[in-house]
Amino acid sequence: MTPRDGRAPTLDQVARLAGVSRSAASRAINNAVHVSPATRQAVERAVRELGYVPNVTAQALARQKVGAVVLAASHDNAELFGDPFFGQVIVGVTAALEDTDLDLKLLLCHSERGHDRVRRMLRRPRADGVMVMALRGDDPLQRIVEASGLPTVYGGRPLHGRPEWYVDVDNRDGGRVAAEHLVALGRRRVATIAGPTDSHAAVARLDGVHDALSAAGLDTALVEHADFTCDGGAHAMQRLLRRDPTIDAVTAASDNMAAGAVRTLQRHGRSVPQDVAVVGFDDLPIAELAHPTLTTVQQPIRALGHEMARTLLSVIDGGTPSSLLLPTRLVVRESAPDVPDR
């Protein structure tokens, strides 16, 4: 049935009626093989009910192979490409693409201009698939990618929605392990420098810390949020010390934040780890360069990039891969050694 306003039904209406994402509806209509039978049947029923007529030109484009994939990050700073974390992700992605003929296109798209560039690239299209990273909150990039109908793999889960394919790190378990380590060292006033509240990874790490502290019967309220930078960690540590000068341990959502926290603690005459033990997250080079060296939760960053690309290649080739949750592990160094140093 045609909508009552007389206008032709849209793909968005088909997706809503079928109870699937726009990208899933697009793939079903374009006869892509990586669509479950249930999704295909729901979309076909919605198409018949609405009288939807696919765009023939768009269908033809959808079946063409372009020979390129996109790695898009929702970020407004070109220095992101110099960040050790993102650099390792790119190394992993390029390793997975090495034996293919696919080109890799890197896009930063935080601004409206950047979003328009992504829309144009994916609408023509000029890519066979998309990898998405660094989404924050209700990010327009997520909607743009889903509207394209192209195979999409998320590096880290978005805060909203349930993507069909993602590769993520077990951030919650990593946060739990960090806090459990501090509790095992006998620390009882454990503070947390958490990441931004619009980041799924930051929220999950904080949840993991709360899991461990709650299980130990300790206060979970000593939390300050900041961005994932040294300055962010330093300022958050300053606020925590004002709130409670008796803090004897800190877990931070990144190594950069942990290094900033150590800087503030030392400036206030607190010895690390004797007075305050510190645990970071990531195991970036700064963890070994810091003084003292940082105990941290190591996440497999290069593997994250590699598995993102490997999963996307499988989807492009018609496979139905499973999403992945990669494990973390604790790396013990001087800022919170195994043997209490107090």
Q: What is the pLDDT of residue 78?
A: 57
Q: Are residues 250 and 142 in the same domain?
A: no
Q: Are residues 179 and 163 in the same domain?
A: no
149 within some domain: yes
Angle between helices 230-243 and 255-267 (to 10 degrees): 50
284 within some domain: yes
pLDDT, tens digit (0-9, with 9 covering 90-100), for 20-74: 877 677 778 876 655 678 888 898 898 888 888 776 545 544 556 778 899 988 7
Mean pLDDT of the residues in the chain: 88
Percent of the chain with pLDDT over 90: 56
Grade residue 195 by pLDDT with cuts at 50, 70 and 90: very high
Q: Would you tell me how many other CB atoms lie within 10 Å of the CB of residue 44?
A: 14
Q: What is the mean pLDDT of residues 243-264?
A: 97
Task: Judge contact between 92 and 103, C-beta under 8 A.
Answer: no
Which one of 61, 83, 103 terminates a domain? 61
Q: What is the pLDDT of residue 57?
A: 47
Burial class (CB in 10 A: 0-12, 13-18, 19+), 33: exposed
pLDDT, tens digit (0-9, with 9 covering 90-100), for 299-315: 999 999 999 999 999 98
Dihedral sign from CA coordinates of 318, 319, 323, 325: negative
The SS3 assignment for 185 reads coil
pLDDT, tens digit (0-9, with 9 covering 90-100), for 201-227: 999 999 999 999 999 999 999 999 999
2 within some domain: no
Q: Which domain holds residue 215?
A: 171-299
The CATH number linked to 290 is 3.40.50.2300
Q: Are residues 204 and 280 in the same domain?
A: yes
Does the pLDDT at position 333 exceed 80?
A: yes
C-alpha 329/C-alpha 156 separation (Å) is 17
333 within some domain: no
Q: Are residues 26 and 39 in the same domain?
A: yes
80 within some domain: yes
Q: What is the pLDDT of residue 146?
A: 85
Task: Of 239, 229, 284, give the one whose Cα is nearest residue 260.
Answer: 229
309 within some domain: yes
pLDDT, tens digit (0-9, with 9 covering 90-100), for 83-111: 788 889 999 999 999 888 889 998 877 66
Q: Are residues 194 and 290 in the same domain?
A: yes
Q: Where are the beta strands (DSSP E) in the chain?
A: 68-73, 103-108, 129-133, 152-155, 166-169, 190-194, 223-225, 249-252, 277-282, 295-298, 324-326, 329-331
The structure tokens 């300055």 sit at 231
313 within some domain: yes
Q: Are residues 247 and 323 in the same domain?
A: no
Q: What is the DSSP letter of 98?
A: T
C-alpha 45/C-alpha 60 separation (Å) is 22
Grade residue 149 by pLDDT with cuts at 50, 70 and 90: confident
1 within some domain: no
Q: Are residues 48 and 99 in the same domain?
A: no
How many domains is the chain partitioned into structurally?
3
Q: What is the DSSP letter of 300?
A: -
The SS3 assignment for 28 reads helix
Q: Are residues 315 and 292 in the same domain?
A: no
Which one of 46, 61, 76 terminates a domain? 61
Q: Are residues 81 and 163 in the same domain?
A: yes
Q: Are residues 161 and 221 in the same domain?
A: no
Q: Are residues 134 and 149 in the same domain?
A: yes
The CATH number linked to 21 is 1.10.260.40
Q: Are residues 309 and 161 in the same domain?
A: yes
Q: How far is CA 111 from the centre of its chain?
A: 19
Q: What is the mean pLDDT of residues 176-185?
A: 98
